[in-house]
């Protein structure tokens, strides 16, 4: 399903996002589950040191044959083959037609599952249970089977339906990401055949987060949007600029706004618990001819519960007679009464309460005492999801 993102007053634009609004808890078919083999320890190579520093990670290039491993030329992330995490399925290369200089290596091969209704990867999370992990599954069809037919299948986290996976075309990269606090010692990521083509997967990644960030009352958080406003490079930002390997999409608006940026780093000496990448925080947007910054997302589903994290940092060196102060409202309700961003230091505004609505309308209004219009550097929007944490999901087959 597509949601569009546009503004009302200050500026207008559209953004297609792929997410699925059906999050029913699926039936568990214990008989069809395929157990993965025991996982052995991952080799520790220097390229992974920084990810390891934040508490360990797993980076799997699904469908990479045997015991192969490599360091990705772009991200310097150390990927390993999936042979230790699953013992079903088949390796395939995608069609040469889709391989290019710019295509990330993880998409060059896939593991497909022509047999069984459900096939599961078993991940032993390196930092144990009751702490927060980012889990990201990525898919690109690339006509790996020569059939030129886009499959459609379901992705599960253990017994819980996480999302369904659909493609617009053969080179469409679909990424599903979730922030999840496991209560058990392993995480099962499963692909379910829904009789609409053979399930497959390109990459599976697990990252450990700082314990205190991204906590909600509800269970897990499905990523809806993670945007880097005012990007000067038009490039996505991830590891190693982002030590948690969140992926930030550049967002530039064509008119009615001014991108701002600084050559100084943000949060160099004093990181917040969110450990925001300086590359994301050193750019922002501000309205050109308005004292309000307003934008909205068409979520298309009034029942979903959204959790929003807005990230601000002052990046202009203000004169003594200058001041930037604004309030923030969401769907017309006051969310934050007065925000004065700190110079080169991040502030994250997070709503404990979820927001519902077929639209999410964000407004930032300049306060009377303020001489400058509002800014915003980055935003993250998640969908809250309560997963059942069944005590014995994979064993009773
Ligand atoms: C996939 O591509 C690699 C590298 O080009 C090659 O070595 C391998 O034999 C190919 N595998 C299959 C199943 O075609
Ligand atoms: C993380 O925080 C929660 C709640 O504050 C606590 O129960 C849990 O033990 C913490 N986990 C770790 C690994 O510190
Ligand atoms: C494939 O789909 C993606 C996502 O909708 C789109 O950005 C891309 O331009 C499409 N590519 C082709 C070759 O149609
Ligand atoms: C970023 O993309 C926009 C829109 O496609 C383009 O106008 C702009 O020149 C690009 N900027 C850079 C630095 O590449
Ligand atoms: C460091 O961060 C804390 C909490 O985010 C903040 O209160 C403090 O002012 C910051 N110190 C400096 C020197 O920026
Ligand atoms: C936010 O600030 C604007 C400008 O001062 C004011 O008109 C508006 O009432 C404020 N919004 C809320 C909900 O307090």
Q: Are residues 239 and 118 in the same domain?
A: no
**Does 124 sit in the ligand 4 pocket, CB within 6 Å?**
no
* 75, 101, 297 from 61: Cα distances, Å: 14, 18, 33
Q: Are residues 204 and 237 in the same domain?
A: no
- Of the listed ligands, the closest to the CA of 56 is 2
Q: Are residues 102 and 248 in the same domain?
A: no
Total domains in the chain come to 2
Residue nearest to atom 13 of ligand 3 (CA): 171
What is the Cα–Cα distance from 253 to 19, expressed in whole angstroms?
A: 22
Of the residues 180, 212, 244, the one at which a domain ends: 212
Contact 55, 211 (CB under 8 A): no
Task: Tell how far the Cα of 193 is from the centroid of ligand 1, in angstroms.
Answer: 26
Residue 33 lies in a domain: no
**Does 252 sit in the ligand 4 pocket, CB within 6 Å?**
yes
Q: Are residues 274 and 323 in the same domain?
A: yes
Q: Are residues 153 and 285 in the same domain?
A: no
Contact 59, 126 (CB under 8 A): no
Instruction: Return per-residue pLDDT of the chain as tens, 397 residues.
Output: 333 333 333 333 322 222 222 222 222 222 222 222 222 223 333 333 345 444 468 999 999 999 999 999 888 999 999 999 999 999 999 999 999 999 999 999 999 999 999 999 999 876 767 678 899 999 999 999 999 999 999 999 999 999 999 999 999 999 999 999 888 888 999 999 999 999 999 999 999 876 667 876 658 999 999 999 999 999 999 998 998 999 999 987 667 789 999 999 999 888 898 999 999 999 999 999 899 999 989 998 999 999 999 999 999 999 999 999 999 999 999 999 999 999 999 999 998 889 999 999 999 999 999 999 999 999 999 999 888 765 444 433 3
Q: Are residues 250 and 205 in the same domain?
A: no
Where residue 106 sits, what CATH number does that domain have?
A: 2.60.120.430
pTM given for the model: 0.83
Residue 40 lies in a domain: no
Q: Are residues 196 and 250 in the same domain?
A: no
Q: Are residues 237 and 198 in the same domain?
A: no
Contact 60, 79 (CB under 8 A): yes
Task: Tell how far the Cα of 13 is from the centroid of ligand 6, in angstroms.
Answer: 25
Cite the beta strand spans of 186-321 per DSSP E: 186-193, 200-201, 203-208, 220-229, 249-251, 257-261, 283-287, 292-298, 306-312
Q: Are residues 227 and 362 in the same domain?
A: yes
Q: Are residues 234 and 380 in the same domain?
A: yes
Residue 152 lies in a domain: yes
Return the SS3 of 280: helix
Could you tell me the residue range of the domain that residue 321 belongs to?
223-384
Of the residues 189, 212, 235, the one at which a domain ends: 212
Residue 289 lies in a domain: yes
Residue 315 lies in a domain: yes
Residue 27 lies in a domain: no
Of the residues 183, 212, 241, the one at which a domain ends: 212
Q: Are residues 234 and 162 in the same domain?
A: no
Q: Are residues 198 and 331 in the same domain?
A: no
Residue 25 lies in a domain: no
Residue 397 lies in a domain: no
Residue of 229, 232, 234 to mutate, ligand 4, most atoms within 8 A of C-beta: 234
């Amino acid at each position: 399903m597509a949601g569009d993102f546009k503004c009302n007053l200050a500026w207008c634009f559209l953004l297609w996002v792929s997410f699925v609004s059906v999050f029913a808890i699926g039936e568990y078919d214990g008989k069809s589950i395929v157990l993965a083999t025991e996982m052995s320890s991952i080799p520790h190579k220097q390229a992974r040191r920084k990810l390891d520093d934040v508490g360990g990670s797993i980076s799997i290039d699904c469908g990479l044959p045997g015991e192969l491993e490599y360091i990705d030329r772009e991200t310097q992330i150390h990927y390993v083959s999936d042979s230790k995490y699953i013992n079903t399925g088949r390796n395939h290369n995608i069609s040469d037609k889709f391989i290019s200089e710019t295509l990330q290596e993880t998409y060059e091969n896939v593991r497909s599952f022509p047999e069984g209704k459900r096939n599961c990867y078993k991940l032993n999370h390196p930092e144990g249970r009751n702490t927060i992990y980012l889990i990201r599954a990525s898919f690109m069809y690339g006509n790996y089977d020569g059939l030129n037919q886009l499959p459609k299948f379901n992705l599960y986290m253990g017994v819980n339906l996480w999302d369904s996976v659909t493609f617009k075309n053969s080179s469409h990269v679909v990424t599903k990401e979730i922030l999840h606090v496991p209560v058990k010692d392993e995480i099962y990521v499963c692909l379910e055949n829904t009789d609409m083509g053979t399930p497959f997967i390109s990459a599976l990644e697990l990252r450990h987060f700082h314990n205190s960030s991204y906590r909600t009352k509800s269970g897990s958080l499905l990523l809806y949007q993670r945007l880097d406003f005012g990007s000067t490079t038009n490039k996505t930002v991830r590891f190693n600029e982002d030590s948690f390997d969140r992926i930030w999409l550049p967002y530039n608006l064509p008119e009615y706004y001014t991108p701002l940026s600084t050559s100084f780093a943000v949060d160099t000496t004093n990181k917040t618990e969110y450990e925001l990448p300086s590359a994301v925080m050193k750019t922002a947007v501000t309205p050109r001819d308005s004292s309000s910054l307003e934008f909205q997302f068409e979520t298309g589903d009034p029942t979903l519960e959204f959790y929003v994290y807005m990230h601000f940092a002052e990046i202009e060196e203000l004169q003594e007679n200058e001041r930037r102060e604004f309030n923030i409202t969401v769907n017309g309700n006051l969310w934050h009464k007065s925000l004065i961003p700190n110079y080169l230091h991040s502030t994250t505004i997070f709503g404990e309460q979820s927001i519902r609505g077929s639209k999410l309308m964000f407004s930032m209004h300049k306060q009377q005492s303020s001489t400058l219009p509002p800014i915003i550097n980055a935003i993250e929007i998640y969908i809250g999801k309560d997963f059942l944490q069944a005590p014995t999901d994979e064993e009773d087959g």
